[in-house]
A and B are shown apart, each in its own frame.
Chain A
Amino acid sequence: MLFNSFEFLVFFPIVTILYFVLPHKFRWLLLLAASCVFYMFFIPYYIVILFVTIVIDYLAGIWIEDSQGKRRKYYLWGSIVSTCLVLFIFKYYNFFIGNFNELAKLIGWNYSLDLLGIILPIGLSFHTFQSLSYVVEVYRGHQKAERHFGIYSLYVMFYPQLVAGPIERPQNILHQFYEKHNLNYADVSAGIKLMIWGLFKKVVIADNIAEMVDIVFAHPDQMSWQWLLLGSYLFAIQIYCDFSGYSDMAIGAARVMGYRLMENFNTPYISNSIKEFWSRWHISLSTWFRDYVYIPLGGNRVPGARKELNLLAVFAVSGFWHGANWTFVVWGLLHGFYNVLENMMKKYNWFRSWIETKVSWKRTIGAIIVFQFVVLGWIFFRATSIHDAWLVIKGILTGQHSSWAPPEEIMIFGYLSLAYKLLLVTLFMLMDLTIHRFTRGYYDHRTKHWFRLSFYAYLAALIVLIGYWGDVEFIYFQF
């Protein structure tokens, strides 16, 4: 079930009303059943895969807690390997076999392995990471093993964040399933505001520009450099609105029922440095890699070169987590390289004072520069192959087919439609920070209630009116 679907418009109020009507002791059961229904809207029998990972990590958590010495480590690694094995089979098997076959062909070895004809279960990477964070936290002693199988299942399956995060930590969410949440105006209001803003970003901004981006990236060799550049910028905005829109809706849907999920996005495109960008973009994933990969590798405690190498490795793995394609690995490596470069540049005082500045105009210039580097990365993320990404970059750098005239496929919609979409995107970028804060209640004490109510009602009306409706999945669902 998609958040931007009519089914969810029916599903969400029913589940929420039932949640508050039911006695507290049955609520976990309702949420678990609702989460199963939500998941089974995609490919129903894939719930078995989810069930298998749930059982593995549930038992591993208990065994780790109940055992001593080396056994704890064995259980931890047993759990990590078996959970990752599921991820490997469904997400990476074909990638490795495909590469193996290519390599075999290259060296003239007449041997090829069959690919698996399977579809990636939706949100597999997300709930795998959430399960892993549980067993690691139990192993570290930061979290008690969850004995209630239903509650543990709900931790993995909680429907608002099941398919695209935020990737939660057990310390933040597990205890909330035991707490009694009463119907609370402040929570309902805060949740609905986030859901409306998230949906607006998805169906009004992201889905409205998706078609233009698709056209540009479908035939990069035929596009003018102006449109390749514009298409790349638009994709940066599309992916941000798509993913942060989903996160806002997930956080909002949970908040209505009184659950607090972690923030996943904090206006990343105002970042003045790459490090700052990663503290604002997909926060739940970047902190996951920091806590469970980077720090165990030595973190900031290891000597310079090793630290930078670790950083590169972590970003490469992060890229690979996104998808089984070399484009994602390059995207990850590119960001790893940016980080390494930034660390090296910090030796110079002018650079350090620049990225730490609080002066608005300096921060604005810094944000514009950082945005260019981020967009370069997005080209690899969006392109279907390294070759295509290279065509886009080459086209921009060589001034390919110079022309401001829109491609024919985009002109079908007319100049006015194009101008409207670009205006919409520009307005969004200019107002993102203000509205982000507004939706999080920063200005509640300075604005009247009727104004806020009218603002969200107007947004809701616009969502219905100019939103792009149809089966448009969220980009991050594929991961």
Chain B
Amino acid sequence: MKQVVRVTILFVLLTAFFYLINQAVINKVYWSGKRLACTLNPQFASVGGQDRQVIVDWKNDAMYDVVIAGSSHAYRGYDPRIFRSYGYNMYTIGTGYQNTLASFLLLKNDCRPIKNSLVVLDVYDNTFSSDGMGCFSRLIANARCEASARDFLMHKFDLRLLNSYFCYVFTDLEREESPLKDGYISNGYSENQDTTKMALDSASAGVMEHEFNPTYITYIERIHKLLNELDCQLVLASHPMMLTPRNRAFHEAFRSYIDPVIQSEKLIYIDLSERVDFNPNRDFMDSNHLNQHGVEKYNKILIDTLHKLQFLPVRSKSFM
């Protein structure tokens, strides 16, 4: 018995020692501009790109009137220049595949201080169904500080995220590996001018059943509570989507899943996903994302709606 315990402890310590030594080496050695870690294991997140820029560009001394959180919908669908033309300082903390848990942790740890801001949480089916492992991995590797990286790890323990955490510890964050997304403007926003030739009935194949993760629903409640403590207003929003049968089916499933929470939490949900006045071949870059033309249209509608709901005070109106 004693021997088993003694050798087990020794084994664990030795494993940890070898692990840390190897982590240090593969995160310090670069080859063709990439850390060796990324070559040895594609699951290691690169440093830089959208995820890093969102953290770096956030200014602690700026007062943001509007903060947008969510996945790629958030960083591709809300243009700070349009908000600025209405007199609002807006920032989007959107990152690829960001779920509500990641949004919660970003709002709690990385994007502070926010006070009296309006927080728009962009939601759609994927926000509640993706496992968010890639998103977490990138956010840990690019975290603002060690405490933030650790908090991400503690909320979703996984060996991939443990690797990302030590990547954060050992990597030189100033040495970016991932290029910034084409069209990055500022305040977390990436512009895209592409249009799609996709027909409305083209993406109908392969409609799958969505598996929503109930944990992520609870994080809507936690975001709501956190924002209440900060005197911030929470609004849920869905931007227009291409009205393919697949998207419609997903959205219907999503609504039936999220509606009870919206009612119980008494949340405001601005659902513009089924707007018919968005042209599939002019306003979208793909079946899921708006292009710049669509963003301009959508942001105008959203701001007008927020005015009507009196969540935003009317300021200068000098829209392009």
B-binding residues in A (CB < 8 A): 6, 183, 185, 188-189, 192, 413-414, 416-417, 420, 453-454, 456-458, 460-462, 464-470
Residues of chain A within 8 A (CB-CB) of B158 are 6, 469
Which residues of B1-52 are within 8 A (CB) of A? 1, 3-4, 7, 10-11, 14-19, 22-23, 26, 31-32, 34, 39-43
Partner of A185, one of B3, B11, B15, B160: B3
Interface string of B151-193 (1 = CB under 8 A from A): 0000001111011000000000000000000000000000000
Given A185-B4, A416-B31, A464-B162, residue A6 in contact with residue B39 (CB < 8 A): no
Residues of chain B within 8 A (CB-CB) of A461 are 15-16, 18-19, 22
With a 10 A CB-CB cut-off, give which of A413, A464, A467 has the most chain B CB atoms. A464
Q: Would B4 and A467 count as touching, CB distance under 8 A?
A: no
With a 10 A CB-CB cut-off, give which of A413, A457, A462 has the most chain B CB atoms. A457
Q: Would B160 and A469 count as touching, CB distance under 8 A?
A: yes
Q: Would B11 and A462 count as touching, CB distance under 8 A?
A: no
Give me 11 other A-B pairs in contact (C-beta within 8 A), A416-B39, A458-B15 excluded. Answer: A185-B7, A417-B40, A417-B42, A420-B39, A454-B18, A457-B11, A458-B14, A462-B18, A465-B23, A468-B41, A469-B159
**A415 to chain B: closest residue by CB:** B32
Q: Would A460 and B15 count as touching, CB distance under 8 A?
A: yes
Interface string of B133-150 (1 = CB under 8 A from A): 100000000000000000
Q: Would B41 and A6 count as touching, CB distance under 8 A?
A: no
A-binding residues in B (CB < 8 A): 1, 3-4, 7, 10-11, 14-19, 22-23, 26, 31-32, 34, 39-43, 133, 157-160, 162-163
With a 10 A CB-CB cut-off, give which of B31, B34, B42 has the most chain A CB atoms. B42
Residues of chain B within 8 A (CB-CB) of A468 are 41, 43
**B10 to chain A: closest residue by CB:** A453
Partner of B40, one of A188, A460, A466, A469: A466
Given A6-B158, A453-B7, residue A464 in contact with residue B42 (CB < 8 A): no
> For the complex, what is the distance from the CA of A462 to the CA of B14, rounded to whole Å?
12
> For the complex, what is the distance from the CA of A460 to the CA of B17, rounded to whole Å?
11
> For the complex, what is the distance from the CA of A457 to the CA of B16, rounded to whole Å?
8
Q: Would B11 and A453 count as touching, CB distance under 8 A?
A: yes
> For the complex, what is the distance from the CA of A6 to the CA of B162, rounded to whole Å?
12
Nearest Cβ distance between residue B281 and chain A, in whole angstroms? Answer: 28
Instruction: Sort A-B residue pairs by CB-CB distance and give the 3 closest, nearest first.
Output: A457-B14, A461-B18, A461-B19
The contact sample of 19 A-B pairs, CB cut-off 8 A, is A6-B159, A183-B1, A183-B4, A185-B3, A192-B11, A453-B14, A454-B14, A458-B15, A460-B11, A460-B15, A461-B18, A461-B22, A462-B18, A464-B15, A464-B19, A464-B163, A465-B19, A465-B23, A467-B159
> For the complex, what is the distance from the CA of A269 to the CA of B15, rounded to whole Å?
31
Chain B binding surface, main DSSP class: helix
Partner of A466, one of B34, B41, B162: B41
**A184 to chain B: closest residue by CB:** B4
> For the complex, what is the distance from the CA of A420 to the CA of B37, rounded to whole Å?
12
Residues of chain B within 8 A (CB-CB) of A458 are 14-15, 18
Residues of chain B within 8 A (CB-CB) of A457 are 11, 14-15, 17-18
Nearest Cβ distance between residue A48 and chain B, in whole angstroms? Answer: 23
Residues of chain B within 8 A (CB-CB) of A462 are 18, 22
Nearest Cβ distance between residue A326 and chain B, in whole angstroms? Answer: 26
Residues of chain A within 8 A (CB-CB) of B133 are 470
Given A183-B1, A416-B32, A460-B15, residue A465 in contact with residue B40 (CB < 8 A): yes
> For the complex, what is the distance from the CA of A188 to the CA of B8, rounded to whole Å?
10
> For the complex, what is the distance from the CA of A185 to the CA of B42, rounded to whole Å?
37
Residues of chain A within 8 A (CB-CB) of B3 are 185
Nearest Cβ distance between residue B159 and chain A, in whole angstroms? Answer: 5
Q: Would A6 and B4 count as touching, CB distance under 8 A?
A: no
> For the complex, what is the distance from the CA of A413 to the CA of B3, rounded to whole Å?
45
Residues of chain B within 8 A (CB-CB) of A465 are 19, 22-23, 26, 40-41, 163
Q: Would A469 and B18 count as touching, CB distance under 8 A?
A: no
> For the complex, what is the distance from the CA of A462 to the CA of B40, rounded to whole Å?
10
Nearest Cβ distance between residue A426 and chain B, in whole angstroms? Answer: 16
Residues of chain A within 8 A (CB-CB) of B43 are 468-470
Residues of chain B within 8 A (CB-CB) of A414 are 32, 34, 39
Residues of chain B within 8 A (CB-CB) of A464 are 15, 19, 159, 162-163
**B163 to chain A: closest residue by CB:** A465
Q: Would A456 and B11 count as touching, CB distance under 8 A?
A: yes
Residues of chain B within 8 A (CB-CB) of A6 are 157-159
**A189 to chain B: closest residue by CB:** B7
Residues of chain A within 8 A (CB-CB) of B162 are 464
> For the complex, what is the distance from the CA of A416 to the CA of B22, rounded to whole Å?
18
Residues of chain B within 8 A (CB-CB) of A183 are 1, 4
Nearest Cβ distance between residue B100 and chain A, in whole angstroms? Answer: 21
> For the complex, what is the distance from the CA of A461 to the CA of B166, rounded to whole Å?
13
Residues of chain A within 8 A (CB-CB) of B32 are 414, 416
Q: Would B4 and A188 count as touching, CB distance under 8 A?
A: yes
Q: Would B40 and A420 count as touching, CB distance under 8 A?
A: yes
Q: Would B42 and A413 count as touching, CB distance under 8 A?
A: yes
> For the complex, what is the distance from the CA of A456 to the CA of B32, rounded to whole Å?
32
> For the complex, what is the distance from the CA of A423 to the CA of B18, rounded to whole Å?
21
> For the complex, what is the distance from the CA of A413 to the CA of B46, rounded to whole Å?
13
Nearest Cβ distance between residue B211 and chain A, in whole angstroms? Answer: 12
With a 10 A CB-CB cut-off, give which of B7, B18, B32, B133 has the most chain A CB atoms. B18
Residues of chain A within 8 A (CB-CB) of B31 are 416
**A419 to chain B: closest residue by CB:** B39
Nearest Cβ distance between residue A467 and chain B, in whole angstroms? Answer: 7
Residues of chain A within 8 A (CB-CB) of B41 are 465-468
Residues of chain B within 8 A (CB-CB) of A420 are 39-40
> For the complex, what is the distance from the CA of A406 to the CA of B94, rounded to whole Å?
35
Nearest Cβ distance between residue B151 and chain A, in whole angstroms? Answer: 19
**A187 to chain B: closest residue by CB:** B4
> For the complex, what is the distance from the CA of A185 to the CA of B20, rounded to whole Å?
28
Residues of chain A within 8 A (CB-CB) of B19 are 461, 464-465
> For the complex, what is the distance from the CA of A467 to the CA of B22, rounded to whole Å?
13
**A454 to chain B: closest residue by CB:** B14
Nearest Cβ distance between residue B17 and chain A, in whole angstroms? Answer: 8
